[in-house]
Structure 1
Amino acid sequence: MPIDQQIKTLRKSLGLNQTELAKKSNISQSDVSEFENGVRLPSYPVLERIAKALGADVVLKTKRPRK
């Protein structure tokens, strides 16, 4: 699942609105909206703060190139 959908799904599952997540993550509500709508991606430090606010971990997955 893309990161924008993961953020939105986790936020909603916790009953938070965008403003509440923004406050917990020390970012603006417009940032949350842009991340959730795929307008832009959060930087890694911001992603860590969002994850912490959502009680989640940041996990990097990589794929091997197809041969």
Structure 2
Amino acid sequence: MAESKLVNAELTFDRDGLIEQIDIYKRLKQNGYLESAQKELESIERLLALVQQSHPTEFEALKARLAV
């Protein structure tokens, strides 16, 4: 799972870890593991909400990746 931590009132996050989590979500959904996929999606959405505040450009790129 992607880790996020607050440093100097600015969010730092593991971009690669979040991308990996998005890819896991997509595989779970594609393979019919809908309950597990939903849990992953909820976790991803919480992290994306934090990313949106500190890194709007990254947020847009990650949101687009999630939508594909």
If asked which structure has higher relative contact order (CA below 8 Å, sep 6+), I would say 1
More strand by share: 2
TM superposition score normalised by structure 2: 0.28
TM superposition score normalised by structure 1: 0.28
